[in-house]
Amino acid sequence: MGAVAGPEIERLVQLLARLPGLGPRSARRAALHLIKKREALMTPLTSALQVALDKVQVCKTCGNIDTQNPCTVCTDPKRDPAIIVVVADVADLWALERANATQGRYHVLGATLSPLDGVGPQDLTIDALVARAHAAEVHEIILALNATVDGQTTAHYITDLLQDANVKVTRLAHGVPVGGELDYLDEGTLSAAMRQRTLF
């Protein structure tokens, strides 16, 4: 089948297809929608992308992304400086914020340790985390890492490095999700829930 659109439109489709969750077919639909809604959607989107390109930066304190540095979370006076929540990625930070799960500060590692993918300690911001953990005001480090092999390996590695820091190291509970039915849960989740049972 020959090309049905000019190279400029094909380029737009190819770029959209690189976004997570968009395959070639979804990218074509998105491109067509943008073109049809040029004034209402494409123009403001182009402007927003340019602003993001010019102004978005990585927070030098925690690794979040924002238009100010230090970021909005780090400069919020209502945040508890005694608690640092460690996450692998900014997406995890945003998820915790959507849930309003903590009033602590954050530390974004950038990834998790993954020897198979060639990700070692030097590729993460672990040294900066250890330095922050030694600050006098910090009392707890919460490891909010994925319950995967890589996530738990990273958590153990960080815990070992924090032995001489005067902080409590905790992790997220693993087990039955809110609204979950036991019959639908995998064996690993059920056994973790049983091991980490709490008083009712």
Q: For 71-110, how does the pLDDT look when each residue is reduced to its tens digit (9 = 90+)?
A: 999 999 999 999 999 999 999 999 999 999 899 999 999 9
Return the higher-pLDDT residue of 193 and 86: 86
For residue 1, the model assigns a pLDDT of 47
Give the range among 27-31, 52-56, 70-74, 181-185 with minimum mean pLDDT.
Answer: 181-185
Number of Cβ within 10 Å of residue 60's Cβ equals 11
Q: pLDDT band at residue 151, thresholds of 50, 70 and 90?
A: very high
Which domains occur in the chain, in start order?
Answer: 65-171 (3.40.1360.10)
pTM of the model as a whole: 0.84
HSE-CB at 81 with a 13 A cutoff on CA atoms is 10
Q: Report whether pLDDT(22) > 90.
A: yes
Strands (DSSP E) along 22-144, which ranges? 57-58, 65-66, 80-87, 104-108, 140-143
The answer to whether the beta carbons of residues 184 and 177 sit under 8 Å apart is no
